[in-house]
Amino acid sequence: MYTLIIAVTVGLLITVLWIALGLWGGIWLGTILGILVMVGISALVARRIGKRIEPAMQSVQRQIQAGQTRLALQTLESLLPMAKWQVLLGGQLHAQIGTIHYAQGEEAKAMESLSKSHARVAEAQLFRAALLYRKNDVDGATKALRGSVKYNQKNALLHNTLAWMLSQSDRTDEAIAALQEALKSLKDDSATKDNLIRLQNGKKMSMKSFGMTWYGLQLEKVPNALRQMQQGPPRPGFRQPRRRR
């Protein structure tokens, strides 16, 4: 945000001075120069911030892989002050912080951070919607998903989760409409087509094709067959999703 304010201020100042001094090109050239300065300052600051953030984010990945989730959270939180300098950075950081808390089973902390995440981050909005849905806030959950769908129109899980929540709440017509709208972007997505046909035939949706990505939302129990197929140890530093009764 600070970057935008500084860039606009300097750009406007150059434009005004150029016009006031009656320099060649007048208002047109002054305006063009002002815009170029704004873009240049924004790009320069974004580049410098990126150079500081990139190694920190690499450290976060290593810390998570090593099971040092608390240290990863501390690293992410230490970057939050920089969000004042770059638009959207805060939402991205809060999305990652909330995702870690969610994986740790810390729902209150997860909701606090996920509520500050940007709608562009599909995974964060899925977790946020799942938390809201489990609190019986269906409207809040579907609102979060609809907001994210605008930026992630080709994310099949977003569309199908939205439809699933609507259908589970006896809003089948809305669920069908949501999937029909989804197919305008997803076109030949088999899972979406199958679920649309299921709803139109009065059957329940099947989310099995989305695998553990779906079951990680903890909205349905993991089938025993799928659980047995999972290979390798749990992801370091993360608790396994709690079984829903």
Q: Check residues 244 and 49 and name the one with the higher pLDDT.
A: 49
Verify that 79 and 166 share a domain, yes or no: no
Reported as type and span, the H/E element at residue 201 is: none
> What is the rounded CA–CA span in Å between residue 3 and residue 224?
52
pLDDT at 245 over 50: no
Q: Which one-letter amino acid corresponds to residue 151?
A: Y
The answer on 216 and 146 residing in a single domain is yes
Residue 108 located in a structural domain = no
Final residue of a structural domain among 35, 60, 87: 87
Any idea which residue has 């209150």 for tokens?
A: 108
Alpha carbon distance 238, 229 (integer Å): 19
Same domain for 42 and 128, yes or no, is: no
Kindly report which listed range (28-42, 106-120, 173-187) carries the lowest average pLDDT score: 28-42
In a shared domain, residues 79 and 142: no
Question: Does residue 118 contact residue 87 with C-beta atoms inside 8 Å?
Answer: no
Q: What is the mean pLDDT of the chain?
A: 85
Give the C-alpha distances (Å, rounded to integers) separating 106 from 5, 101, 124.
36, 5, 14
Instruction: Report residue 73 as tokens.
Output: 């959270």
At 135, which CATH number?
A: 1.25.40.10
* 77 or 151, which is more confident: 151
Position 235 in a domain? no
For the chain, percent of residues with pLDDT exceeding 70? 84
Report how far residue 187's alpha carbon sits from residue 180's, in angstroms, rounded to the nearest whole number. 10
Assess whether pLDDT exceeds 50 at residue 45.
yes
Greater pLDDT, 233 or 51? 51
Residue 178: inside a domain, yes or no? yes
As for how many domains the chain has, the answer is 2
Residue 52 lies in a domain: yes
pLDDT, tens only, 74-101: 889 888 887 676 767 888 899 999 999 9
Tokens of 10: 């300097």
- Rounded mean pLDDT, 15-30: 73
Which domain, by its residues, includes 167? Answer: 124-220
Placement of tokens 């059957």 in the chain:
203
Q: Are 161 and 220 in contact (CB under 8 A)?
A: no
- Are 130 and 209 contained in the same domain? yes
Taking 60 as the threshold, does the pLDDT of residue 234 lie above it? no
